[in-house]
Structure 1
Amino acid sequence: MMGMAREQRLAEVFVEVADSLIDDFDVLDLLQRLSARCVELLDVSAAGIMLADVHGELQIMAASDEHTRLLELFALQHEQGPCVECYRSGEPRSNIDLTDPEVTATWPRFAARAKETGYVRTHAIPLRLRRRVVGALNLFQASPHSLGESDIALAQALADVATIAILQQRTLEQSHVENSQLQHALDSRILVEQVKGILAERWGTTTDEAFAVFRSYARSRQLRLSDLARRIIEGDYDTSSLVGSSSEEASGTV
């Protein structure tokens, strides 16, 4: 996406996000859309947003796609990888060459899995507001070209929007509220992961396909992902009604 077309699309994305930041918005769905927008606006193959839990360990919150290999790659960053260092330092790590022997030596399991998944370059952008760092945005490329300064700046802007969405400025100075919000978001992701497995097994599909149908159904009926997931897990929702989502929605359109 080049020139005026990208500038116009970028403006639309920020308006879309601003419209989403109402009192009772679905933070999981918003982060999911932001990760997809990173792939759309930047020349990258995949993106994910990670948040630190109360123990300071990064957990995956949203990914541009939900394929198991990509999610496993994010999960590896519990232990090692650029997101861990980015989160701890609060500084971006950009244009990391995953074929570089020094990188491979620094993060052996992460670099090896990334290359197996088809990625040769990665970037980690902090989710921060002032001095607070709550997570990281991770970008992956299947091609070896470098991202320029303007692309990295745009990635940081999208990460900043994600941070504001998570924390909501009016509660930033209330640490107990902030911790509660972060933990609620993490708990919500766990519920969604559980329901993906339940639906995939029930329908005989992949978890990626099950998530696409589940998410499109929730959005079309203005239901929070976590609320719908909880009702399904508790057996309080007829999941056969979810299958009626349109093919366009189920394809993962955001």
Structure 2
Amino acid sequence: MTDTRERRLVDAFLAATGMVVGDYDVVEMLQTLVDDVAGIFAVDAVGILLADPQRRLEVAASTSEASAFLGLLQLEAGEGPCIESYETGRTVSVADRQEMRRRWTHFAEESERAGFASVHSIPLRSHTAVLGSMNLFRRAPGRLDDQDATAARALTDVASISILQQRSADQAARTRDQLQRALDSRIVIEQAKGFLAHTHQVDPDQAFTMLRGHARSAGRPLREVALAVVERRLAIPGPAPADAGR
């Protein structure tokens, strides 16, 4: 690599690792990645397919309409180098149109129509899962040289780490949100119990029974009923006197 390309590659790694340790948007990260790869390596278009939680692949980023189209084409056909790379977890490198035609006829036809003669597909993977694939299209035949292929693979590894970290962070955030909602609900319920206990001169257990009984009979969430009581939007009647009806 030339000094300029080396600097651009270092900058790409710095950008990717910066996203690992900070807040970022996954789509923006992937778009930055494909733009960097297209600018650094001897390729004409780059696209990324990413699997959703149900393992359905989608086009997540691309440098051109052509690369996005070829990604969608493979998804519709259920075959192609990008699909194979994702399904096997291995790099798939196709050096020319003849090899492409032999392996995926429809993809080869559309790829040739779009002006591409070779493709290099790299899985985005961790130790335990394949997340998608990054796909490098070239108008000229031939494989990526070993140095470029290694560097491109290293960038996809960083991207995979970033995506996994984001997914873990999202899960952790959801757990924190659920815990916080539960704690907030508990506070509101305790406030409602205290209000009912004071208003009707009952103990907290009786107040909670009144609160929960009203929520069940009304078919409303307990927190919602408690909040309405606290905000004075709902008046729950007190228990009937012990001698009522005699």
Q: TM-score range, shorter-chain basis?
A: 0.5 to 0.7
Q: 1:168 aligns with which of 165, 168, 193?
A: 165
1:129 deviation in Å? 1.2
Aligned residue among 171, 182, 188 for 1:177:
171
Residue 42 of structure 2 corresponds to 43
Structure with the greater alpha carbon radius of gyration: 2
**Stretch moving more, 41-50 or 19-28:** 19-28
Q: Which residue of 2 aligns with 1:89?
A: 88
Distance, in Å, in 2 between the alignment partners of 1:29 and 1:154 is: 21
- Structure 2 length normalisation: TM-score? 0.64
Work out the percentage of aligned pairs sharing the same amino acid: 36
Q: 1:71 aligns with which of 65, 68, 72?
A: 68
1:54 Cα deviation from its structure 2 partner? 3.3
Q: Residue 103 of structure 1 aligns with which residue?
A: 100
Q: Per-residue displacement from partner, 1:205-252 (whole Å, max 9, x unpaired)? A: xxxxxxxxxxxxxxxxxxxxxxxxxxxxxxxxxxxxxxxxxxxxxxxx
1:98–1:115: 8 Å Cα contact kept in structure 2? no
Q: Distance in 2 between matches of 1:138 and 1:4?
A: 25
What is the aligned partner in structure 2 of residue 139 from structure 1? Answer: 136
Distance across 1 between alignment mates of 2:37 and 2:5: 12
Change (3 A) 1:36 1:170: closer
CA displacement 1:45-92 (0-9 Å, x = unmatched): 000111112343321100123x2x332211012111011111111110
CA distance in structure 1 between the aligned counterparts of 2:120 and 2:107, rounded to whole angstroms: 13
The alignment partner of 1:60 has SS state of strand
User: Residue in 1 aligned with 2:25?
Assistant: 26
> What code does the residue aligned with 1:130 have?
H
Contact 2:17 2:158 in 1 (8 A): no
The Cα of 1:170 is off from its aligned counterpart by: 8.6
CA separation of 1:57/1:106 partners in 2, compared to 1, >3 Å: closer, same or farther?
farther
Contact 2:85–2:122, Cα closer than 8 Å, also in 1: yes
Give the match for residue 117 of structure 1. 114
SS at match of 1:119: coil
* TM-score normalized with structure 1 length: 0.62
Note the C-alpha offset of 1:142: 0.5
Matched AA of 1:99: R
| CA distance, structure 2, for counterparts of residue 169 and residue 62 of structure 1 | 17
Deviation at residue 29 of structure 1 after TM alignment: 0.9
Of the structure 1 ranges 103-112 and 125-134, higher mean CA displacement relative to structure 2 is found in: 103-112
CA contact (8 A) 1:98 1:111 kept: no
Aligned amino acid, residue 45 of structure 1: D
State the match for 1:220 in structure 2: none
CA contact (8 A) 2:61 2:68 kept: no
- Alpha-carbon spacing, 1:91–1:54, altered in 2? closer, same or farther (3 Å): same
Deviation string, structure 1 residues 122-168 (Cα, Å, up to 9, x no partner) = 01101011132110000100111331111111111111121112111
Relative to structure 1, the CA distance from residue 29 to residue 134 in structure 2 (aligned partners, 3 Å threshold; closer, same or farther) is same
In structure 2, relative to structure 1, the CA distance for the partners of 1:23 and 1:11 (3 Å cut) is: closer
Q: Tell me, yes or no, if the aligned pair for 1:45 and 1:141 is still in contact at 8 Å.
A: yes
Provide structure 1 residue ranges, at least 5 long, that are not aligned to the other structure: 181-254
After TM superposition, the runs of 4+ consecutive aligned structure 1 residues lying more than 6 A away are none
Q: 5+ unaligned residues in a row in structure 2: which ranges? A: 175-246
Q: Distance in 1 between matches of 2:62 and 2:167?
A: 27
- Is the 1:98–1:119 contact (alpha carbons within 8 Å) kept by the matching residues of 2? no
Contact 1:50 1:137 in 2 (8 A): yes
Taking CA–CA contacts closer than 8 Å with sequence separation of 6 or more, which of the two structures ends up with the larger relative contact order?
1
